[in-house]
């Protein structure tokens, strides 16, 4: 796979690959996720999550646990991501940690950075529902403040993407190290139609920002919204956030 053909930003740091997994694989993964015992879920204020591959210590060391067979055997997400080239420069050349997030319609995640525990590449697979995913930057004022929470975020995203179910989005470079990303808490994503040409691309209506990956979208309903406009209702979405934790403790080191 030539990752650069999937670049959706000017610097070539963000890549969108539609239909990264099949519908059968998606159905299987969702069944496995839903079959997990209640105690595997960690409840947060506005979403639930599961950690696969172990916990991180306060010093950002992964206490590695085996990954579930349904990411290593069928479907073999590990190898598939490896052959995408996404982790070719990471220390273990492959992901070793996955956060599974569950979002109900109307739930999201505040703009944030993923931090220094991971090699600065993240691959996020979406299951079951689409969502709208935005990248943000800090203002240049206040730049020397070391505490990221004290810095000001520019409210208009620098890049906005429509993530389809079964797609993967890969974020690397400065988009990982110095930008933020988030999902707004919405039940519906309104789309303003484009004209099918680069001069007038489709937009997310509410923020008036271009759908950066509109040319790469494959879903019938989603594509129709790009050309005719429309409202895309969010369903329950699962995301698999795949990363390579740099420091690993335990005999499971890979
Ligand atoms: O669900 C997503 O697509 C994003 C999740 C995320 O940013 C994270 O887990 O750090
Ligand atoms: Fe994140």
Atom of ligand 1 nearest to the CA of 103: 1
- pTM greater than the 0.90 cutoff: yes
Confidence of residue 46 (pLDDT cuts 50, 70, 90): confident
How far, in Å, CA of 163 to CA of 179, rounded?
A: 18
Confidence of residue 196 (pLDDT cuts 50, 70, 90): confident
DSSP H or E stretch at residue 136: strand 131-136
What is the residue with the minimal CA distance to atom 6 of ligand 1?
241
Question: For 153, which DSSP code?
Answer: B
> What is the CA(196)–ligand 2 centre distance, in A?
31
ipTM over 0.95: yes
Backbone angles phi, psi at 36, to 5 degrees: -65, 140
Buried b (16+ CB within 10 A) or exposed e, 183-205: bbebeebbbbbbeeeeeebbbbe
Report how far Cα 233 is from the mean position of its chain's Cα atoms.
Answer: 19
Atom of ligand 1 nearest to the CA of 169: 3
Pocket (CB within 6 angstroms of ligand 1): 99, 101, 109, 114, 124, 133, 181, 239, 241
pLDDT in tens, 108-137: 999 999 999 999 999 999 999 999 999 999
Higher-confidence position of 193 and 252: 193
Residues paired with residue 133 on neighbouring β-strands, in sequence order: 161
Which residues are close to ligand 2, an ion, with C-beta < 5 A? 114
What is the residue with the minimal CA distance to atom 3 of ligand 1?
239
> What is the CA(203)–ligand 2 centre distance, in A?
23
> What is the CA(199)–ligand 2 centre distance, in A?
31
Q: What pLDDT shows up at residue 254?
A: 53
Residues paired with residue 56 on neighbouring β-strands, in sequence order: 62
């Amino acid at each position: 796979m030539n990752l650069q053909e999937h670049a959706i930003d000017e610097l070539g740091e963000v890549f969108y690959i539609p239909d990264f997994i099949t519908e059968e694989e998606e159905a299987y993964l969702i069944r496995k996720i839903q079959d997990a015992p209640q105690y595997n879920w960690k409840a947060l204020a506005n979403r639930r999550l599961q950690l696969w591959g172990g916990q991180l210590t306060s010093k950002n060391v992964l206490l590695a646990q085996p990954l579930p067979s349904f990411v290593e055997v069928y479907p073999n997400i590990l190898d598939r991501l490896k052959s995408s080239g996404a982790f070719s420069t990471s220390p273990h050349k492959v992901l070793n940690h996955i956060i599974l997030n569950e979002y109900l319609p109307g739930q999201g995640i505040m703009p944030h950075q993923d931090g220094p525990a991971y090699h600065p590449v993240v691959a996020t697979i979406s299951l079951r529902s689409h969502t709208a995913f935005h990248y943000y930057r800090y203002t240049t004022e206040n730049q020397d403040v070391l505490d990221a929470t004290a810095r000001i975020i520019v409210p208009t995203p620098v890049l906005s993407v429509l993530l389809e179910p079964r797609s993967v989005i890969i974020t690397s470079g400065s988009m990982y190290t110095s930008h933020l990303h988030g999902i707004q808490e919405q039940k519906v994503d309104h789309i303003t139609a484009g004209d099918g040409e680069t001069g007038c691309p489709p937009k997310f209506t509410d923020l008036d920002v271009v759908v950066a990956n509109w040319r790469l979208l494959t879903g019938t309903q989603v594509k129709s919204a790009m050309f005719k406009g429309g409202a895309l209702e969010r369903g329950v979405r699962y995301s698999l956030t795949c990363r390579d934790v740099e420091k690993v403790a335990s005999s499971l080191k890979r």
